[in-house]
Structure 1
């Protein structure tokens, strides 16, 4: 008796084995690729990132992006108001912008504002009484307010804390400052600073868009911080409910 199976049967039996082999090869390839990706992330990362939680990292990146947006707005304001950087005493707008940026990040006072910072500087920079580089003063005021709202830091680690209410307040202050920027006029009815423009000849809302990005990042960070602290409270409540002892180290 011939026990050899027909050819079409043996081919049908081999097909699942072939599919399994191909599937296993794909998994192996994906695993190797993921391993290379993880190794690349470790090599590309900075050593101090090991001391950051995901929220700390997000806050650090958000602060960096917000300051970059602010510097972009400063350059755009200097372009629309070229008479302002000339009042700063610097040779050009680039030099003026560099000094403003340094004052924000190093938390140094701005000579044109005296000892004013944060909200006091913001109110003064948009007042008719101010005399000087209004663009630089306005951007410096917002930048210093952002840093203050984040606890006086631009980078964040596990040992730092950020008050979500202050971050939310900073977002609301920027919304108000954006509106004031488009409304404040001098005694002759001329805008103190030209920013957004809507006319028959042109339409430019890029200032409002960039300020909106800053506000959105601040609101997202506020939600993340609220959730983190809420989870801490819930974990504590759960430990009491389950009568678990809390760790002491």
Structure 2
């Protein structure tokens, strides 16, 4: 990113200060925003909101499934969520290096004995990382692929479907999420997943428009049970 370092240096020399309306120096604008487009700022915020939403879902899942963070060896629910936030592969040797769809699918596999919440959310988080090209901030020359964002949104639909339908040999859900008891109906998981899908779909549309491409929609029947690829799209 040598070009970016040079550009920052020029910006700092030429535009480090500006005059306010009263004639006094105003330094409230950070120079980095001079090398960010509006779409870059939207991408920054969108990514942060999506990641925080998934961490919130992880916390909610751990509250309903406390045995999972204990299986993972965490000292507390909060520690388990913090470990997910860091996303260090060696923290989950039971995942055998799996990420994205492979990791998420383990949460709904009978033979898997590890932390199912971690497997699911780690898989979803690494999909988001791939969709945003493993960057936390975006600048003018950075680019995104609307297909990766779109597939990641569809994978959130897959996750919520699996949470409500996939069961073990005894007929029990692998992970408890939404409470569907008519007397105690709670759809907070579905609402948060819906918010995340909306953010990703919006970002996919913005990127598709910038790239001059249309964004075709797939049918629910195609993506109802299988996690779609993200990293491997070219």
- Give the TM bin, normalised by the shorter chain: 0.7 to 0.9
- Listed as ranges, the gaps of 5+ residues in structure 1 are 1-33, 232-249
C-alpha distance in 2 between matches for 1:63 and 1:46: 20
**1:62-73 matches, cutoff 5 A:** 62-73=46-57
Kept in 2: contact 1:183–1:191 (CA 8 A): yes
Structure possessing the higher relative contact order (Cα contacts under 8 Å, 6 or more residues apart): 2
CA positional deviation for 1:208: 0.4
Counterpart residue number, 2:12? none
C-alpha distance in 1 between matches for 2:75 and 2:99: 25
> Paired residue for 2:84, among 76, 80, 100?
100
CA positional deviation for 1:63: 0.4
Counterpart residue number, 2:32? 48
Out of 107-116 and 91-100, give the one that drifted further. 107-116
> Paired residue for 2:172, among 181, 186, 190?
190
CA positional deviation for 1:142: 0.2
CA positional deviation for 1:169: 1.0
- Listed as ranges, the gaps of 5+ residues in structure 2 are 1-19, 214-234
> Paired residue for 1:57, among 41, 60, 83?
41
C-alpha distance in 2 between matches for 1:124 and 1:156: 32
Residues 159 and 108 of structure 1, relative CA distance in 2, 3 Å threshold:
farther
C-alpha distance in 2 between matches for 1:153 and 1:167: 14
Q: Does the residue aligned with 1:95 lie in a helix, a strand or coil?
A: helix
Q: Scaled by the length of structure 1, what TM-score is found?
A: 0.72
Counterpart residue number, 1:220? 202
Q: Does the residue aligned with 1:204 lie in a helix, a strand or coil?
A: coil
- C-alpha distance after superposition, 1:97-145 (max 9, x if no partner): 1111101xx6766323121011111122221121111111111110001
> Paired residue for 1:88, among 67, 72, 94?
72
- C-alpha distance after superposition, 1:18-58 (max 9, x if no partner): xxxxxxxxxxxxxxxx959xx98x61x54322221111110
Structure in which a larger fraction of residues adopt helix: 1
Counterpart residue number, 2:151? 169
Kept in 1: contact 2:100–2:127 (CA 8 A): yes
Counterpart residue number, 1:17? none
CA positional deviation for 1:194: 0.3
- Flag the structure with larger Rg: 1
CA RMSD of aligned residues (A): 2.1
Q: Scaled by the length of structure 2, what TM-score is found?
A: 0.76
Residues 109 and 228 of structure 1, relative CA distance in 2, 3 Å threshold:
farther
Q: Does the residue aligned with 2:212 lie in a helix, a strand or coil?
A: helix
